[in-house]
Amino acid sequence: MKAIELRGIIPPILTPMHEDESINVPELRRQVDRMIENGVHALFPFGTNGEGYILTAGEKQLVLETVIEQCNGRVPVYAGTGCISTKETIAQSKMARDAGADVLSIITPSFAAASQDELYEHYKAVAAAVDMPIVLYNIPARTGNALAPATVARLAQMENIVGAKDSSGNFTNILGYIDAGKQKENGTFYTLSGNDQLIIWTLLAGGTGGIAGCANVYPHTMASIYNLFMEGKIKEAKEANESIQSFRACFKYGNPNTIVKTAARLLGYNVGPCRAPFNQVPEEGIKALKKVLAENEAKGMH
């Protein structure tokens, strides 16, 4: 298994689409370059912000292969391969392995309620089937299934389960994952924040970065949080993290990843709309976004 450090700011890169909702491959390549040129530390295709929940298996393969090819080894590539069934998750994980992904990000199964033992067996089966670094992905508000820190501690004992991303917004849960990771006996366990506002606090607590949707709008600003932290400039890192609050306040106008993609469009990038039905932002939301984007541009955020 390839040894890789899970560190820094990792954008769940947008999946650009044409107006007919087909994948806009040339624009995806441009977004890969834009992210890397602004200093991000890895890329994560078809996460929540990449609309992985609504892409077909064939589209996921197209997106992943495009991102890997365009990255050309400049940064690691994470692939979101979690599905509802264990069988399909294994199939998607093998696809990502064969495409050349560096890391698998595997969201908990969704819709049907799962016990902690069922979640454990799910991840155990995938880890046994695919010899690649795996990041557990907890986002209970979307999936309905929360991955308990105690379960993370059990899963961390598997050699290729190397980290967890927490998007619960509950900092206590992140701390629980960090503590669970300390119990890993074979190798290092990395904890990543999935909540953009908690990145600096996660780093200060012993985590190693964040999978940050806002990096699709402000890649340089978001990457600077980690870079400043590593330079020991904690005050400046906190300020960089706090600078996205006005943008995140716009999330009240719609689905957060719809807001992020709309913001990228308003900045002039041809990423298209989110796939229906998750594609609407009211006029007051557009007005608020334009105001915030202009204010942040004046501050030098990009």
The pLDDT confidence band at residue 2, using thresholds 50, 70 and 90, is confident
Domain membership of residue 274 (yes or no) is: no
Examine residue 281 and state whether it is found in any structural domain, yes or no: no
- Domain span at residue 54 reads 8-243
Site of tokens 């007919």: 20
Flag whether 114 is in a domain: yes
Which of 78, 123, 165, 269 is an active site residue? 165
**226 in active site:** no
CATH number of the domain that 192 lies in? Answer: 3.20.20.70
> What's the total number of domains in the chain?
1
Query: Is 131 part of any domain?
Result: yes
Token pair for residue 6? Answer: 């899970």
| 154 in any annotated domain | yes
pLDDT band at 278 (very low <50, low <70, confident <90, very high): very high
State the average pLDDT over residues 223-242: 98
Q: What is the pLDDT of residues 159-187, one digit of tens each?
A: 999 999 999 999 999 999 999 999 999 89
Asked whether residue 27 is assigned to any structural domain, the reply reads: yes
Cα-flanking dihedrals φ and ψ of residue 33, to 5°? -65, -40
Q: CA 280 → CA 250, 255, 267, distances in Å?
A: 13, 8, 17
Q: What is the pLDDT of residue 101?
A: 98
137 is catalytic: yes
* Residue 270, in any domain of the structure: no
Mean pLDDT, the chain, as a whole number? 97
Of 78, 120, 123, 137, which one is the catalytic site residue?
Answer: 137
pLDDT for 188 equals 95
- Tell whether 3 is covered by a domain: no
Residue pLDDT, tens place only, 123-143: 999 999 999 999 999 999 999
pLDDT 10s digits, 41-97: 999 999 999 999 999 999 999 999 999 999 999 999 999 999 999 999 999 999 999
Q: What is the pLDDT of residue 1?
A: 74
Q: How far is CA 210 from the centre of its chain?
A: 8
**Which bin fits 271, alpha (ψ -120 to 50), beta or left (φ > 0)?**
alpha
